[in-house]
Structure 1
Amino acid sequence: MYWSWNVSEMDVTEQKITINSDSLDREVTVTLLLPENYEQSEPLNLLLLNDGQEAENLRIKETLEGLYNTHFIKPVLVAAIHASEERLQEYGTAGKPDFKQRGSKAAAYTQFITTELLPAIKKETGIEDFNTTAFAGFSLGGLSAMDIAWNNPQLFDKVGVLSGSFWWRSKELGKGYTDNDRIMHSIIRNATDKPDLKFWLQTGTRDETADRNKNGIIDSIDDTVDLIKELEDKGYTRPADIRYVEMVGGAHNVDTWAYAMPKFLVWAFGR
């Protein structure tokens, strides 16, 4: 199905839906944001966003309206998925919890996304096919988006990770840990194929202060740069497949991610 909209001032409509998830055994709230005043004529894109409960603090609606009204992006339906008190268990890497057994429900969350959320969006909107489907998130939600997109490239085209928790590891520091114990890096390194995906990765120079290897570079940046190296070893190239944005002064908070979001949206859905 195709959409177009008026070239006059564009507003974004906001609607909350609730999905009774069998996979997660709970109700999931999803905020849908869609440009209004459209007609069927141009392809519509889809963005799934983890931690959708932060959509207002991230200023997603205002950002979309600004980008539409300056004609920077194509029309996109944003599905902002609200996390629950089980966030630390539902996010992570499917089937591979960290050393504290966090992420124990990540496989169930993946099942929710692939078998319940996407069909519910299609049913709610009446749209069967999207031009581009992206998945994005920040911090642990970014790790989740990366893992789900990587393992389901038949459903996703692009992934965006803001201050991703790529430190996610199978061993505790000081108890035999090496960088090879970072779980997402290992998943990419050990993959036998190269999923047809494109990646947008962001860090901030003030994401944290931790520096495991004492090289003067914070772990958030080291872990993200090392993940990019793993992707390049798989055959992905920059800038064709990978875009990396390092924000000087950027912190691990919604203000930084709100500032970075337009850059991601233009990369993913730009005209």
Structure 2
Amino acid sequence: MAENYKIIEEKIISGFLKREVAVTFYVPTVIYGNDLIDLLLLNDGQDVAKMNFVQILSDAQQKQTRAKLVVVAIEASLERVAEYGVVGRPDFKQRGKKAGLYSKFILEELFPFILKKLAQPIQGRIGFAGFSLGGLSAFDIAWNNGDIFDVVGVFSGSFWWRKKDLKAGYTDADRILHAMIDESSTKPDLKFWLMTGTEDETSDRNGNNIIDSIDDTVDVIKSLLRKDYKRPNDIRYYEKVGGKHNPETWAAVMPAFLAWAFGD
């Protein structure tokens, strides 16, 4: 049923990023004026291109009638490690120093472009998801803009993002995203889908025989629970046995995310 979706490739000149941004729209072939529209933004659009994404979307759309899902995949550039991160909190190597500019691009340039392109209001759910460092970025932007976003999806998220090198007296308190959640005075009206693969990596900082990507993700969940989010209503954790840090694994779990985020 791949014909249920069409692909539209666009270029946006970003004044904030001082570069051209490539975005790919995945749009249902038929959208009626009275259709409810859901929207999903995806960081690391270059990874989406490695999936059979049109088929994944078409299969997902066949299983639900609540709304039509439009996906906009944003391709990363050579500035990826500068633009992705936590706004105002670069890591110990100053990676993520342009995260604030990237957030402005999403909110002030990409969103108006999408609305003009669709020529139809988005009255359904709005989600932001990403892979690895793109997942960290999606989480951060959604967290700080809970009035816009409804759901967050993080695939193998870079929740290790830290303000201190491991060799410089690092402790878990140096993880940037966890601190952002813990220190936040607000509780955005969001739902969270967090995924790891059991073979995401081999690193094990604390020697507890659990890879860091799982430890860091579980600790994000603990931070969310301290904010009084509830499982399973607000938080869904998906651990893929044998899952690796690659588009093949993320493609395999994408249907579960779409069903959770945008299902009936």
TM-score, with length taken from structure 1:
0.94
Q: Which residue in the other structure is 1:225 paired with?
A: 218
Q: Which residue in the other structure is 1:132 paired with?
A: 125
Q: Which residue in the other structure is 1:33 paired with?
A: 26
**AA at the equivalent of 2:236:** R
Rounded to whole Å, the distance in 2 between the matches of 1:72 and 1:185 is 36
Rounded to whole Å, the distance in 1 between the matches of 2:31 and 2:112 is 22
Equivalent residue in structure 1 for 2:186, among 184, 193, 217: 193
Following TM superposition, by how much is the alpha carbon of 1:243 offset from its aligned partner in structure 2, in angstroms? 0.3
Q: Which residue in the other structure is 2:35 paired with?
A: 42
Q: Which residue in the other structure is 1:207 paired with?
A: 200
Q: Which residue in the other structure is 1:251 paired with?
A: 244
Equivalent residue in structure 2 for 1:118, among 94, 111, 120: 111
3-state SS of paired residue (2:39): strand
Counterpart mapping for 1:251-270 below 5 A = 251-270=244-263
Q: Which residue in the other structure is 1:14 paired with?
A: 7
Following TM superposition, by how much is the alpha carbon of 1:72 offset from its aligned partner in structure 2, in angstroms? 7.4
**AA at the equivalent of 1:194:** K
Percentage of matched positions with identical amino acids: 54
Rounded to whole Å, the distance in 2 between the matches of 1:253 and 1:129 is 31
- The answer on 1:149 being equivalent to 2:150 is no
**AA at the equivalent of 1:76:** L
Rounded to whole Å, the distance in 2 between the matches of 1:36 and 1:199 is 29
Contact 1:67 1:73 in 2 (8 A): no
Following TM superposition, by how much is the alpha carbon of 1:89 offset from its aligned partner in structure 2, in angstroms? 0.4
3-state SS of paired residue (2:33): strand
Counterpart mapping for 1:165-180 below 5 A = 165-180=158-173
Rounded to whole Å, the distance in 1 between the matches of 2:157 and 2:128 is 13
Rounded to whole Å, the distance in 2 between the matches of 1:38 and 1:98 is 43
Following TM superposition, by how much is the alpha carbon of 1:176 offset from its aligned partner in structure 2, in angstroms? 1.3
Contact 2:31 2:68 in 1 (8 A): no
1:72/1:128 CA distance change after superposition, 3 Å: closer
Matched pairs, number: 264
TM-score, with length taken from structure 2:
0.97
Following TM superposition, by how much is the alpha carbon of 1:174 offset from its aligned partner in structure 2, in angstroms? 2.1
Task: Find runs of 4+ consecutive structure 1 residues off by over 6 angstroms.
Answer: none
Q: What's the RMSD between the two structures over aligned residues? A: 1.4
Contact 1:14 1:34 in 2 (8 A): yes
Following TM superposition, by how much is the alpha carbon of 1:114 offset from its aligned partner in structure 2, in angstroms? 0.6
3-state SS of paired residue (1:268): helix
Contact 2:36 2:66 in 1 (8 A): no
Q: Which residue in the other structure is 1:78 paired with?
A: 71
1:10-40 per-residue CA deviation (whole Å, 9 max, x = no partner) reads 5201101111100100111110001112312
Range with greater deviation from structure 2 (125-134 or 8-17): 8-17
Range with greater deviation from structure 2 (40-49 or 253-262): 40-49
